[in-house]
Amino acid sequence: MTRNAAALRNDQAMLIVMKSQASADQVEHVLRAIRDHGLTPHPLPGATRTAIGITGNTGAIDPASFEALPGVMEAIRVTRPYKLASREMHPDDTVVSLPHTRFGPGTFTIVAGPCSVENEEMIFRTAEFLLSRGVRLMRAGAFKPRTSPYSFQGLEFEGLEILARVRHKTGIAVVTEVLDAAHVTAVEAAVDMLQVGARNMQNFSLLKRLARSSLPVLLKRGMSATLDEWLMAAEYLLADGNRQVVLCERGVRTFADHTRNTLDLSIIPPVRRYSHLPIIADPSHGTGMRDYVPAMALAALAAGADGIMLEVHPEPEKALSDGAQSLDFAGFDRVLESLRKIAEPLGRAIH
C-alpha cells in the first residue's frame, strides 16, 4: 500500500474543485498550498475540470482558505466513510473500459453467459450466439463458490484455458469469478475482467490483491451488505490503485422465500447518488427463476442501472449449476427485444 492510500483511509478528507478554466499554474499553486499545510494532495482527472483530493488531518483547516486561492471553485469536506468511491470526491460518472465494450453513462451493458464453464463446446456455442446479438462481454465461472461441497465446483484451471481460447478465437471479452487470492495471476492471464462474488465481497486480502491488478473488477454485493459496506469494499480496490470497478447488485437475503434472493433495485439510486462507480444488476441470481428474469431486467434499466448480468445456457435443463435461473437462447432474445424498446427513450445505448 502506498502512503497516499494509507492516508485516504483516514476519516478526514477534503476535495478542492477547480474552475473549468483554471490554469495549470493555478492548479500547481493549490497543490503547493496543500503541501504547505502538511497534507497530501491527490489530483483527480475529470472530464471538464480538475479536482484535488486532500487527505491527512484536514479537520483544523477552514475550506474558505482554499476557496480564496485563484482558480478554485469550491472546497468540500468529504463526509462519507469511503473517499475515492464517493461522488463527493469524483463528481463525474466513472467509465470502466473493456476491449470491446464499456460500462458508464449513456450505455446499458449486457453481460451474459452460463453460470459455469462446463465444456468447450457449450462455451463456444454461447459466445457465438452472444456475439451474433451484439453482446461483447460473456460471463462464465471456472471456479464456483457452491453451498455444498458435493456440488459441481467448476472446471477450475481447465475452465480458464477454455475461456482463454474462446476469447482468442471469437474476440468476445470474458469476465470470470476469482475465488482465491492465490488464483489471481492465472485468472488475469485468461480473461478481461475479474469478478468478486457475493460471498467474497469482504475478503479483504483478495480485494487488496485485486487492487494491484491491471484488469477491471466486477464487485458483487454481499448477500447482507449495506450500501456503506459495499462501497467500503470498493474503496479497498480504489485505495490501492484499481479505479476500474463496476458494482453488481445480485439480491440480498430477506424473509422472502418466493424468490432465491430479493433483488434490491432500490439500492441503485442511492449508489448513483453517493458513488461515481457504474452499477449493474443481476436478475438471474437476484430471483433464481428464469420466468422472473425478464421483468427484473427491464426494471433494472428503468431504475438507472448501467447494465445487467444474465445467465444464459444453450440447454438450461442440463446445466451443471443454476439451470433454473438460466435463460435459453430464445428467452434471451425476448429479453433483449424488450430492453431495446425502452433503452433508447431512457437515453441508453445497449452494448
User: Are the CB atoms for 329 and 129 separated by under 8 Å?
Assistant: yes
80 binds, among Mn ion, ligand PEP, none (CB under 5 to 8 A by kind): none
Among residues 80, 220, 276, 313, the one that binds ligand PEP under rule CB under 6 A:
220
Residue 13 pairs in a beta bridge with: 55
Of residues 12 and 261, the one with the C-beta less far from Mn ion: 261
Of residues 54 and 196, the one with the C-beta less far from ligand PEP: 196
340: three-class secondary structure by DSSP? helix
Judged by CB under 6 A, the chain residues 60 through 119 that form the site for ligand PEP are 115
197 binds, among ligand PEP, Mn ion, none (CB under 5 to 8 A by kind): ligand PEP
First to last CA, the chain: 35
Distance in angstroms (rounded) separating the CA atoms of residues 175 and 117: 12
Among residues 80, 183, 209, 250, the one that binds ligand PEP under rule CB under 6 A:
250
Strands of 226-286, DSSP E: 245-249, 279-281
Distance in angstroms (rounded) separating the CA atoms of residues 284 and 297: 9
Shortest distance in whole angstroms from residue 39 CB to Mn ion: 45
Of residues 104 and 283, the one with the C-beta less far from Mn ion: 283
Shortest distance in whole angstroms from residue 283 CB to ligand PEP: 11
Handedness of CA 196, 201, 203, 205 (dihedral sign): positive
220 binds, among ligand PEP, Mn ion, none (CB under 5 to 8 A by kind): ligand PEP
User: Are the CB atoms for 306 and 279 separated by under 8 Å?
Assistant: yes
Shortest distance in whole angstroms from residue 69 CB to ligand PEP: 46
Distance in angstroms (rounded) separating the CA atoms of residues 181 and 178: 8
Shortest distance in whole angstroms from residue 311 CB to Mn ion: 6
Of residues 75 and 137, the one with the C-beta less far from ligand PEP: 137
Shortest distance in whole angstroms from residue 250 CB to ligand PEP: 4
Burial class (CB in 10 A: 0-12, 13-18, 19+), 91: middle
User: Is there binding between residue 323 and ligand PEP (CB under 6 A)?
Assistant: no
User: Are the CB atoms for 193 and 174 separated by under 8 Å?
Assistant: yes
Judged by CB under 6 A, the chain residues 288 through 307 that form the site for ligand PEP are none
Shortest distance in whole angstroms from residue 89 CB to Mn ion: 33
Handedness of CA 209, 211, 217, 220 (dihedral sign): positive
Of all residues in this chain, which one has the CB nearest to ligand PEP in the complex? 197
Contacting residues for 135 by C-beta, under 8 A, at least 6 apart: 110, 111, 112, 172
Residues near Mn ion (CB under 5 A) are 115, 322
Of residues 8 and 280, the one with the C-beta less far from ligand PEP: 280
Of residues 184 and 310, the one with the C-beta less far from Mn ion: 310
Region at 275 (left for phi over 0; alpha for psi -120 to 50; beta for the rest): beta
Judged by CB under 6 A, the chain residues 190 through 209 that form the site for ligand PEP are 197-199
Of residues 286 and 294, the one with the C-beta less far from Mn ion: 286
Judged by CB under 6 A, the chain residues 142 through 181 that form the site for ligand PEP are 145
Shortest distance in whole angstroms from residue 285 CB to Mn ion: 6
Of residues 56 and 197, the one with the C-beta less far from ligand PEP: 197
Of residues 53 and 251, the one with the C-beta less far from ligand PEP: 251
Burial class (CB in 10 A: 0-12, 13-18, 19+), 336: buried
Residue 33's nearest CA partner among 90, 75, 82, 81 is 75
Shortest distance in whole angstroms from residue 116 CB to Mn ion: 7
Shortest distance in whole angstroms from residue 51 CB to ligand PEP: 33
Residue 308 pairs in a beta bridge with: 110, 281
Which residues make up the interface to ligand PEP (CB under 6 A)?
115, 141, 145, 197-199, 220, 250, 285
